[in-house]
Amino acid sequence: MSGLSRRKLITGGLAATAGITGLAVADRLAKAYGLVPPDAGGIFGPGETLTYAAQSLLTAHRPAREFPRSMISKDPFAVPIAPPTEAFKKSQALGFSDWRLTVDGMVERPTAFSLADLQSLPVRNQITEVACEEGWSYVAEWIGTPLSGVLREVGVLPQARYVAYFSVEPDEWDSLDMREALHPQTYLTMGMNDGELPVAFGGPLRMRVPMQLGYKNLKFLHHITVTDSMKRFGKGLGSASPEGGYAWFAGI
């Protein structure tokens, strides 16, 4: 009996040591390779970190699913938007010709892009699904210019790690890590289903992130800041979502 318990004690001790060492090593590796999300604190931190790290490793360089044109939803759904402000209505009356997307932060050439400027960059299209965290979804064609091209235009500094982006709507802001910001399907979207992007769906300019759920796809985009840390933005959790209780990473 004493032999058995000693063996158990040694095995248990070794397993515990291996476990703790493994966790410490995993923690160091996760930090070194940017696998810890900005909202990694608190009781949901371990789960969130596991999800973000696993998905980042698993999905590196993968494209979100694309669909044939025949699968475009005839009845797409958009969460009702707040009544537009006077400034927005004025811009809308001008056909959004005065709409500007300012890109600043850790870039060599901070720039304010008009929609025409963005249209002059390579314009691409994708037929992908918008999936809401509530459970519903629709497939649509999205037309726009990849964010990666805009970031190339402004010259992102090497220490940059996140791209924060802001809607004209108050408290609507979010961020992507560099990997997702440079993802070829991450678009600054100006068109939908062969037409202009309707205001109800975020027109004139919407961030399209098909690798993540709907709430990362901010409507009415007007400002982008490139940064090495999300600590200085809001409560430092990476986006407005965690401040409202929602995960920063919305790939699941």
Q: Is residue 148 near another protein by the rule CB under 8 A?
A: no
Q: How far is the CB of 79 from another protein (least distance, A)?
A: 6
Q: Is residue 141 near another protein by the rule CB under 8 A?
A: no
Instruction: Tell me if 208 sits within 8 A of 187, measured CB to CB.
Output: yes
How distant, in Å, are the alpha carbons of 20, 56, 71, 107, 118 from that of 153?
A: 46, 26, 34, 9, 11
The kind and range of the H/E element at 10 are: helix 2-32
Cα–Cα distance, 162 to 174 (Å, whole number): 10
The token pair at 16 is 């515990």
Restricting to residues 211-250, which ones interact with another protein according to CB under 8 A? 211-213, 244-247
Of positions 26, 34, 73, 234, contacts another protein by CB under 8 A = 73
Of positions 36, 137, 161, 184, contacts another protein by CB under 8 A = 137
Q: Is residue 27 near another protein by the rule CB under 8 A?
A: no
What is residue 144's three-state secondary structure? strand
Q: How far is the CB of 13 from another protein (least distance, A)?
A: 15
Q: How far is the CB of 51 from another protein (least distance, A)?
A: 5
How distant, in Å, are the alpha carbons of 71, 170, 195, 228 from that of 57?
A: 30, 34, 36, 21
Cα–Cα distance, 23 to 3 (Å, whole number): 30
Instruction: Tell me if 230 sits within 8 A of 181, measured CB to CB.
Output: no
Q: Among residues 102 and 137, whose Cβ is nearest to another protein?
A: 137
Q: Is residue 133 near another protein by the rule CB under 8 A?
A: yes
Q: Is residue 112 near another protein by the rule CB under 8 A?
A: no
Of positions 26, 121, 123, 131, contacts another protein by CB under 8 A = 131
Q: Is residue 177 near another protein by the rule CB under 8 A?
A: no
Cα–Cα distance, 114 to 229 (Å, whole number): 27
- How would DSSP label each residue in 46-103? HHHHHHHHHHHHHHTTPPPP---GGGS-SS---PPPPPPPHHHHHHHHTTTTT-EEEE
Restricting to residues 38-67, which ones interact with another protein according to CB under 8 A? 44, 46-48, 50-51, 55, 58-59, 62-65, 67
Q: How far is the CB of 161 from another protein (least distance, A)?
A: 19
Q: Summarize as ranges the residues that interact with another protein (CB under 8 A).
A: 44, 46-48, 50-51, 55, 58-59, 62-65, 67, 71, 73, 75-77, 79-80, 129, 131-139, 210-213, 244-247, 251-252
